[in-house]
Amino acid sequence: MNIIERIMPPVFVGGPLSSGRVDTPDRNAGIPHFGDSTFFRMNPKRKTAVRAAYPQEFDQLVPAEVRAELPKMHVLVTKLSEGVHLVLPVYRTNRPFWTEPKSDAEAAVTVEAMARMGGWDLAEMQAFAAKYCTDDLVSPTVH
C-alpha cells in the first residue's frame, strides 16, 4: 500500500465514490434536493435533518441486485444557506433505530449515536459481507 492510499481523503474526493456532496438549485437539483429544500422550507428553524438516502443517491456503482440487499444508507443533511445543503452519508441499517428527529438537538443525538456504533449496523453489514465479500471488510469500530 502506498502512502496516498493511507491518507484520509477529504469528503468530496472520489467522484461517484465521494462520501458527501453539496446540493444547490443549479447542481444536483433532483429529487433529493427538492425533498431537502421542502423539509427546510416547512421547518424554517431547522438546520439539520437525518433521512434515508433516496434510491441510487449513493452506491451508483453497486449492481442493482446487490444494492437491493445492502443495508440502507442514511444521511445527515445540513442547510448551509437557502437552497444549499451539505449531504453526508452517516449510517447503514435496514432497521430504523430512531424516530425522525424533531429538532436539530435530537438530530445531533441521533448522529452521535450513529458515530458511536461505527457508522453501520454491524450484524447487518457482516451478513452482507458474508454473502458478497471475499475478505473480512467489516470489523467493529467504536468511536
Task: For residue 50, give the C-alpha cell.
Answer: 437525518
Residue 81 lies in a domain: yes
Q: Among all chains, which residue has been given the C-alpha cell 467489516?
A: 138
What percent of the chain has pLDDT above 70?
78
Domain-located, residue 34: yes
Q: Assess if residue 44 is contained within a domain.
A: yes
Structural domain contains residue 138: no
The whole-number pLDDT of residue 47 equals: 97
CA pair distance 129, 61, nearest whole angstrom: 17
Domain with 54, as residue range(s), is 10-132
pLDDT value of residue 109: 93
Task: Report CA-CA distances (Å) from 140 to 123, 132, 137.
Answer: 10, 18, 10
Per-residue pLDDT tens for 65-110?
A: 888 888 999 999 999 999 999 999 999 998 876 678 899 999 999 9
* Residue 139 falls inside a structural domain: no
Q: Is residue 142 part of a domain?
A: no
User: What does the pLDDT average to over 46-51?
Assistant: 95
Q: Specify the pLDDT at position 133.
A: 79
| Of 30-34, 67-71, 135-139, minimum mean pLDDT range | 135-139
Does residue 97 lie in a domain region? yes
For the chain, give the mean pLDDT: 83
Cβ-contact 78, 47 below 8 angstroms: yes
- Whose cell is 433516496? That residue is 54
Looking at the structure of the chain, the number of domains it has is: 1
Q: Is 124 part of any domain?
A: yes
pLDDT bucket at 50, cuts 50 / 70 / 90: very high
Q: Calculate mean pLDDT across residues 125-142.
A: 68
